[in-house]
Each structure stands twice: as C-alpha cells, then as structure tokens.
C-alpha cells in the first residue's frame, strides 16, 4: 500500500525527462497514473511499462498541447480511461531556442501557448474532474526568480505567468481543499538540457550554479512533487517551491 493508493494522477509530458520521473514516482506511491505525451507514444509506453514493472497501474494518453482545443481533447482521452482525478501535474513545457535578439513572434507565442496557456485551460476545463482534496502541481523554473539566463527571457516570462496562475488558483480552489503549488527546478539532466551531454565544461558550469555542486536529476524533482501530492503537504498551497539545489542562493 502506497500513500497514494486509490488516487488517480495525470502527469503531462510524462513520456520523457522530469515528467517521466514524476509519473514513475507517483506510480510507485500507489497512484494510477495517466501518462500524457505530445508526440512520443513509444516513450510514453516505456513510462507505463516502468510503472507496471514495479506493480503499479498506468495508461498513456497523447495530445499535442499549445494548439486550439488541446484541453478538451486531452480530457476526452482521459475520460475514456478514467473517472475523476486527484492529482494533476502540469509538467509539459518547452524552452526557448532563440536568444532575445532574434526570437520571432511565432516562437514567443508557442512558448506561452505550451507553458502557460495549456495548463490554464487544462484546469479551467478540467476542474470538475478534480476531486475535492486534490492536488495541482505546476512545474515552473528557477528562472522565473533570477536573471541568470536572460536570453531565455520568453521562457522565463511564460513560467512567471504559470507562477501567478498557481498563486491565484490556490485561492479559487482552496474552498474545495485542493492545493496548488509550483515546483521550480534548476538545471536538470534531460533531453531539454542535451547541451550538457559530452560538454564537460558546460556541465561543470551548470553544476556550479547549485550550492550542492551538481546538476539535478529527474528524481530530485519527482520527490518534491510526490511530497506535494501527498497528505503530508495538505497545509502547503499557493507556494513556489525552490527545487534548484540552492542555485538561487
Ligand atoms: P523534456 O525532457 O524535453 O520533456 C518534455 C515533455 O513534455 C515530453 O514528455 C514531451 O512530450 C512533452 N511536451 C513538450 N511539448 C509538448 C507539447 N507541445 N504538447 C504535448 N506535450 C509536450 O523536458 P524536461 O526537461 O523534462 O522538462 C519538463 C518540465 O520541467 C518543463 O516544463 C520544463 O520547462 C521544466 N524545467 C526543466 C528544467 C531542466 O533543466 N530540464 C529546468 C527547469 C524547469 P513528447 O516527448 O511526447 O514530445
């Protein structure tokens, strides 16, 4: 029996990276996990298999986010497999690939559509599925609180919008006993940070941001999300949790 036995969780962007780590951890804690993916069905199925391999229960649902009608379509796919939800983790996100000097409107709009608009409408159109006493965790970034990487400005701005969403939503959903929190990772080794691979100098620089002298792992973030999803965190809401390994100190 895990602490989340009997609960249903939906983790967006759980085919890879931090989302996969979160899905696997919530699965180990006993939750039945909806493993959402954008394009990578095979990877999502690997996440499902990893959860099932340790006795958990999971299923994959695919839906591109950041496009019109995304939330309604995702919920339709979810409803076909589950009834009601206890934990929603808005993890899917994209970074900025162009620096401030050359970013175009289309890239800016896409970043905001995936990182800020999609979580907003997922909750707006899905809130009635979320049971009283439920949990929402939004995966933000340390960059919404520091100008450490100013060229990623559009990305950081989109996550700052997500943080405001967290704060206000905690007031709107608090009367139902639903907590809403942001978790802010620093540099974590995933496909998103592929530049770390094979570049020892870049990796050492990234590690040096953290007071603990290393790059984060997906489990470092998943464990914080698991705490917020658990009953132990029932009195924590509207918070922005620094999970940067002390990169902001
Ligand atoms: P990742 O390895 O690139 O994985 C991204 C995940 O999101 C994948 O499952 C992907 O699905 C999904 N996704 C991306 N765009 C999507 C879209 N338009 N529609 C549907 N699904 C989409 O990313 P990550 O590094 O794990 O990052 C996860 C979250 O942590 C993001 O919100 C990111 O901003 C945040 N974060 C990451 C770091 C870091 O250093 N890695 C630091 C701070 C914050 P498919 O594989 O199916 O395409």
Residue 197: predicted pLDDT: 87
Percent of the chain with pLDDT over 90: 96
Q: Is 112 in the pocket of ligand 1 (CB under 6 A)?
A: no
Output the CATH code of domain 8-243.
3.40.50.720
Cβ of 224 less than 6 Å from ligand 1: no
Measured torsion, CA atoms of residues 219, 227, 136, 150, in degrees rounded to the nearest 10: -50
Q: pTM, whole model, 2 decimals?
A: 0.98
Q: Is 19 close to ligand 1, i.e. is its CB under 6 Å away?
A: yes
pLDDT digits (tens, 9 = 90+) for 137-185: 999 999 999 999 999 999 999 999 999 999 999 999 999 999 999 999 9
Q: Give the Å distance between the CA of 91 and the centre of ligand 1.
A: 7
User: For the chain, how many residues are written?
Assistant: 249
Ligand 1 neighbour 41 (Cβ under 6 A) = no
Q: Is 61 in the pocket of ligand 1 (CB under 6 A)?
A: no
- What's the mean per-residue pLDDT of the chain? 97
> CA separation (Å) from 63 to 38, 50, 150, 249?
5, 21, 31, 37
Backbone angles phi, psi at 125, to 5 degrees: -95, -5
Domain boundaries, the chain: 8-243
* Segment 89-141, tens digit of pLDDT: 999 999 999 999 999 999 999 999 999 999 999 999 998 999 999 999 999 99
Atom of ligand 1 nearest to the CA of 15: 9
Residue 180 backbone class (left: φ over 0; alpha: ψ -120 to 50; beta: rest): beta
Residue 94 CA to ligand 1 centre (angstroms)? 6
* Residues forming the active site: 155
Residue ID of nearest Cα to ligand 1 atom 12? 13
């Amino acid at each position: 029996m895990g602490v989340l036995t009997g609960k249903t969780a939906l983790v967006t962007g759980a085919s890879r990276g931090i989302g996969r780590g979160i899905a696997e951890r919530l699965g180990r804690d006993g939750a039945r996990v909806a493993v959402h993916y954008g394009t990578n069905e095979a990877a999502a199925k690997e996440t499902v298999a990893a959860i099932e391999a340790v006795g958990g229960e999971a299923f994959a649902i695919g839906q591109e986010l950041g496009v019109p009608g995304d939330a309604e379509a995702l919920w339709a796919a979810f409803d076909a497999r589950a009834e009601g939800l206890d934990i929603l983790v808005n993890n899917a996100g994209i970074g900025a690939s162009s620096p401030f000097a050359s970013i175009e409107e289309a890239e800016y709009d896409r970043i905001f559509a995936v990182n800020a608009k999609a979580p907003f409408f997922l909750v707006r159109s899905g809130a009635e599925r979320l049971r009283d006493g439920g949990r929402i965790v939004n995966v933000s970034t340390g960059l919404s609180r520091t100008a450490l990487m100013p060229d990623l400005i559009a990305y950081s701005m989109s996550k700052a919008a997500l943080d405001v969403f967290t704060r206000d939503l905690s007031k709107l959903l608090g009367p139902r006993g639903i907590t809403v929190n942001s978790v802010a990772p620093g540099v974590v080794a995933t496909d998103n940070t592929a530049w770390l691979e094979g570049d020892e100098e870049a990796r050492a620089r990234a590690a040096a941001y953290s007071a603990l002298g290393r790059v984060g792992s997906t489990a470092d973030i998943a464990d914080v999300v698991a705490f917020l999803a658990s009953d132990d965190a029932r009195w924590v809401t509207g918070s922005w949790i620094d999970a940067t390994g002390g990169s902001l100190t």
